[in-house]
Amino acid sequence: AQKITQTQPGMFVQEKEAVTLDCTYDTSDQSYGLFWYKQPSSGEMIFLIYQGSYDEQNATEGRYSLNFQKARKSANLVISASQLGDSAMYFCAMRETFQETSGSRLTFGEGTQLTVNP
């Protein structure tokens, strides 16, 4: 079974600085996908960025980038130039695909609560 580990329950960063949120994963699949979501206090889940297991380059989306180290099984999220609005819970997730049915699901880590200080 797949497992996602986020070891930082809480992180603090100063406004305008960069921050790295850690994510490690465990899977025996060759093909998988890694996702990051943001959940503000309002509760919605906002898709941020995706990295495929065969992608050779690290994914980037605006101020978000994913530091993908396949051999270490890590997929850390880097947020550059933090803003007050970045304060939220961040979840790392892995896509698992079931060959028999072509079904799939996301398995989530426990999340990291990021606080951006002015």
d(CA 22, CA 104): 24
CB nearer to another protein: give 25 or 111.
Answer: 111
The nearest distance, CB 109 to another protein, in angstroms, is 8
For residue 83 the two structure tokens come to 């803003």
CB 33 within 8 A of CB 52: yes
The nearest distance, CB 94 to another protein, in angstroms, is 11
Instruction: Provide the binding-site residues for another protein, judged by CB under 8 A.
Output: 31, 33, 35, 37, 43-47, 50, 52, 91, 93, 95, 97-98, 101-108, 110-111
CB nearer to another protein: give 17 or 26.
Answer: 26
CB nearer to another protein: give 38 or 82.
Answer: 38
**56 DSSP assignment:** -
CA 53 to chain centre: 14
User: Within 13 A of 112's CA, how many CA atoms are on the CB side?
Assistant: 27
The nearest distance, CB 45 to another protein, in angstroms, is 4
